[in-house]
Amino acid sequence: MKSSIILIRMKKKIIIDCDTGVDDAQAILMAVLTEDVEVLAITCVSGNSNVEQAAKNTVRALYAADDKCFGVPVYLGSDQPLLDSSLLETLREDARNFHGIDGLGDAQDATEGEPPYGSVINRSEKAAVAICRLIHDNPGEVTVVALGPLTNIALAM
């Protein structure tokens, strides 16, 4: 009797939590363009810039990757640290030296047209809630890739 082994490669499910600057944009591009990775969501947090700019930078990265990447939801998270916020502006000033004012090196958008920020950024659910929901919906299957300050992760916990 012959036996057959069928290997099914499951995609690794991840949530990226980031403060999208140049480095995080590169990580996002690598993740969304890797065939054996499924990016369930990208949650944004204040860090290199405010959370709104981080979300816009995330959409710019997705827009540069491919139209199919617009299935990846982007969530707004915390715009302030949980504790001492007095260092926030100093940290952002230091980040501007590396990432520019907009977090992406102040480079012009290399894509055609304006990215559709409004249709990609989810404003109805906060990042920490989305993290909890996605982990609950996919028990034992999700890896959180935390690239920025851990405020959203702390709130989710």
Q: Rounded to 5 degrees, what are φ and ψ at 82? A: -70, -30
**E strand spans, 3-147:** 12-18, 37-44, 74-76, 121-122, 142-146
Helix (H, G, I), strand (E, B) or coil at 19: coil
H or E stretch at 95: helix 88-99
b vs e for 131-153, b when ≥16 Cβ sit within 10 Å of the residue's Cβ?
beebbeeeeeebebbebbbbbbb
Give which of 58, 63, 66 is closest to 35, Cα–Cα. Answer: 66
Active-site residue set: 19
